[in-house]
Amino acid sequence: MSLVITPLLDIPLIKTGDDLVQIIWRGLRKNSIQLDDGDIIVLAQKIVSKAEDRWVNLALVKPSFQAIELADKIEKDPRLIELVLQESNQVIRIRTGTIIVEHRLGFICANAGIDHSNVAGNGDQSSDWVLLLPKDPDASAQAIRLNLENLNGVKLGVMIIDSHGRAWREGVVGVAIGISGLPGLVDMRGKRDLFGYTLRITTIGAADELAAAASLVMGQADEATPIVHVRGFPYPLREGNLKELLRPKEQDLFR
């Protein structure tokens, strides 16, 4: 079976308090897609954050002494750095223009995932607004999934993704930051390989592979969309979560 990833076109701009379930539902209808058992809906982090009102007005942020010092060192806005520190467990690397942290959700990313490139606090075009990641993306994905399943009577997966830079390789790629109803990892250890005679020793980052695929479809300049529909995910759906995908600190060679 093919893996088919379909962008939902004509999704309206998302505002604080919007009901994403209704928006996804209408988007599916507009795009003539009927949900089926095993389908997955992938959402860009941005619209979840917006619906959940994760906007912060920088004008109201009072940077700490630590934030001011750090911001000075890397030549960034101290108010932004204050938010980055508030959203992080630990600073991992800094250099001019760049701060890479362990986000409070556990993953490593630049700027704590705070979005300053798309500046518009509910229509306000001033550049003082930034958008934080959802508070609990697994829970957000779960709530959306259960509501969508109730509307349909089918078993679904829902995933929230963001674009992260990577060690060693150029270019951002889509990664999972919130998961419900699909596996984060798929354990192939003990399975026979392609050729039937050797045991595999690999664990596959299946949700991240799907996140990358979905991001590819979302990422276009002209017909961009924050919601995609996935059919043909090749592994069985099950409860899953972000934590599966996060390597414990003490096992990580690259912090």
Q: How far is the CB of 65 from its own copies (least distance, A)?
A: 25
Query: What is the C-alpha to C-alpha distance for residues 217 and 179, in angstroms, rounded to an integer?
Result: 19
Which residues between 18 and 37 bind its own copies (CB under 8 A)? Answer: none
Q: How far is the CB of 88 from its own copies (least distance, A)?
A: 14
- Binding its own copies (rule: CB under 8 A), the pick from 205, 227, 240, 241 is 205
Element of type H or E holding 148? helix 137-152
* Binding status of residue 65 toward its own copies by CB under 8 A: no
Query: What is the C-alpha to C-alpha distance for residues 174 and 161, in angstroms, rounded to an integer?
Result: 6
Which residues between 115 and 154 bind its own copies (CB under 8 A)? Answer: 117-120, 125
- Binding its own copies (rule: CB under 8 A), the pick from 41, 56, 108, 179 is 108
- Binding its own copies (rule: CB under 8 A), the pick from 16, 66, 90, 220 is 220
Three-state secondary-structure class, residue 123: coil
Query: What is the C-alpha to C-alpha distance for residues 63 and 77, in angstroms, rounded to an integer?
Result: 9
Residue of 228, 215, 51 lying closest to 137 (CA atoms): 51
* Binding status of residue 91 toward its own copies by CB under 8 A: no
CB of 165 closer than 8 Å to CB of 172? yes
In the complex with its own copies, the residue whose CB is nearer, 65 or 250, is: 250
* Binding status of residue 253 toward its own copies by CB under 8 A: yes
